[in-house]
Amino acid sequence: MRIPALAAIILISSATMAMPVVAQESLSKAVDGIDQKVQPQSFRDLSRRLMPAVVNISTSQTIAPEGMPTFPEGSPMERFNEFFGRDEDGFRREGSLGSGFVISADGYIITNNHVIENADEIDVNFADGRVLKADLVGRDKDTDLAVLKVKSSTPLPFVDLADSDKAEVGDWVIAIGNPFGFGGSVSAGIISARNRDLNAGRSDDFIQTDAAINRGNSGGPLFNLGGEVVGVNTAIISPTGGSVGIGFSVPSNLVKRISNQLIKEGRVRRAWLGVNVQDADENLVKAYKATGKGGVIITRITDEGPAAKADIEVGDLVLRFGGKPVTSVRELTRLINETTIGKTVPISLVRDGKARTINVTLGELEDEETPAETSSGLDTPASSNDLGTDLSSLDDDVRRRYGIPKDVEGVVVTTVSARGRSFGKLRRGDVLVEVNFERVATVTDTIEKVEQAMTTPRQPLLLHVKRRGDAGWFDQFISIDLTNS
């Protein structure tokens, strides 16, 4: 998703600063039977029923003294300790405000991870004015979700999570939360879009809404007209810092899966395939002599990982995972995340132009951090070959100049023409390894294979390259349209 240059994705907790009503049954049950397709005349009754289950969350964190001095008691400068927010020992306390909602009568609460991250103390403020201390049950940085637990002498009012797969664009929704510290605020709107990707994590699948969401709404519920939580309000896009009608919520089905794991184990366990992949567009799929509008290509395989043990290879074009179509990296990531650790899954792929199915037993993801693969700039003089590039064979001098390791073989790209077919696809320093599944070792060999491919211009040219990134050298697969001059 492209974000406008003047806008910013804002996590909507606030850096500035009440419930239990006896409830044996979810407050969501009280509004069953409402037709969500009919425009309501008022949200009054729905808001009144749901408000007791929505909470305001305030946190505090003690920051050790660093940099700025602490002035001693009695000093003329003592007043500046308070100005800088420091106590007599030089410590400074920071706080934040957010929202949340109760999902069980015994006190489990869902909010955003960024609302409670690094907090020393967490207070939960209920609609009736009571304040209860909360314990952190577990949190998941990738989905920005957290589960808290409070103890109450009476059952707490709570709400249910909806089946977000049934939510449709145009459905009415209401957001209840604590924007800018104004607790118990209600705003209404519709679902504007689904399946939004903000590049915030591997599980991005946001619901977009135009209901007003602002700082402090983070972790609060987005309700459907049935009184069920269809999403957890998490972020907005805004050039001003306030709501402009573009807010995002984590869908409730993902919230169910993550919160259940956090309550059961205190952490989220994810399945692991052990590969890096890139998106394959329709042109790349065609270059593999396959059909369809998308897929993913394996660009790196982790040693001793599940894919390596199953004989998956770099360059394989994955089209189906567990019988379900794979159209993008995001889709494959979602399918893997939803698969049980240890389950054996059939993967349908294309290798060397031939279809095959390989069974892979998924492992458990240990390291959540994925190194970024960044790009570098291009030189753009004119080049005369059909690729629109200048190429060079690999010798010791070239390897030193481009930092190419000894185990990488092929032909290096030294310049890319701004008017050539490869502009925007190949980069200076790329090493061409294969042309249409055939290895290349010299510039002459490479040019001959490209010229040979030009005799069948309706078939895209497939290039297998090695490319340097922040995490080292990785494989990349690129299609070149030979019909363009």
- Annotated ligand binding at 217? The verdict is yes
Rounded CA gap, 315 and 330, in Å? 18
Q: Which amino acid is at 38?
A: V
Q: pLDDT of 81-104, one tens digit each?
A: 454 444 444 444 556 789 999 999
Show the tokens assigned to 301: 């395989």
Give the pLDDT band of residue 319 (cuts 50, 70, 90). very high
Give the residue with greater pLDDT, 445 vs 193. 193
Per-residue model confidence (pLDDT) at position 245: 85
Please, which contacts does 28-34 make with residues 24 or more away whose CB atoms are closer than 8 Å? 28/159, 28/160, 28/226, 28/227, 28/228, 28/229, 29/160, 29/227, 30/227, 31/225, 31/226, 31/227, 32/226, 32/227, 34/225, 34/226, 34/227
SS3 assignment, position 75 = coil
33-50: pLDDT as tens digits: 555 556 677 899 999 999
Q: If you write DSSP's letter for every residue of 377-432 in order, what string do you get?
A: --------STTSEEEEE--HHHHHHHT--TT--SEEEEEE-TTSTTTTTS-TT-EE
Task: Determine the 3-state secondary structure of 307 from DSSP.
Answer: helix
Three-class SS state of 133: strand
Over residues 410-435, the pLDDT tens digits come to 999 988 877 778 888 888 899 999 98
Tell me the CA distances in angstroms from 219 to 87, 177, 317, 357, 431, one per residue in order: 30, 8, 39, 42, 47
Q: How confident is the model at residue 210 (pLDDT cuts 50, 70, 90)?
A: very high
Q: Does position 460 have pLDDT exceeding 70, yes or no?
A: yes
Residue 478 burial by Cβ neighbours in a 10 Å radius (0-12, 13-18, 19+): buried
Asked if residue 107 belongs to a known ligand binding site, the reply is no
Q: Which residue has the tokens 């984590």?
A: 250
Contacts of 258 (CB under 8 A, 6+ apart): 140, 143, 145, 268
Residue 290 tokens read as: 């396959």
d(CA 114, CA 102): 18
Q: Residue 193 in contact with residue 169, Cβ under 8 Å?
A: yes
Question: Which pLDDT belongs to residue 57?
Answer: 93
Distance CA 343, CA 335 (A): 12
Ordered domains of the chain (ranges, CATH): 1-268 (2.40.10.120), 271-364 (2.30.42.10), 389-480 (2.30.42.10)
CA distances to 96, 110, 373 from 159, rounded to whole Å, are: 24, 11, 42
Active site residues: 114, 144, 218
Q: Is 210 annotated as a binding residue?
A: no
The β-bridge relationship of strands 92-102 and 108-112 is antiparallel
pLDDT score of 19 more than 80: no
Annotated ligand binding at 144? The verdict is yes
For residue 464, CA distances in Å to 375, 411, 479 come to 17, 11, 9
Dihedral sign, Cα of residue 127, residue 129, residue 130, residue 132: positive
Return the SS3 of 217.
coil
Minimum mean pLDDT range among 356-360, 419-423, 435-439? 419-423
Task: Report residue 362: phi and psi, to 5°.
Answer: -75, 140
pLDDT at residue 389 in the model: 86
Query: Any idea which of 105-109, 304-308, 317-321, 443-447 has the lowest mean pLDDT?
Result: 443-447
Residue 249's nearest CA partner among 307, 175, 323 is: 175
Dihedral sign from CA coordinates of 267, 268, 269, 272: negative
Do the annotations mark residue 114 as ligand-binding?
yes
Which residues are 279's β-sheet partners? 296
Q: Tell me which DSSP letter residue 90 carries.
A: S
Q: Quick one: pLDDT at residue 380?
A: 33
Residue 239 burial (10 A CB sphere; 0-12, 13-18, 19+): exposed
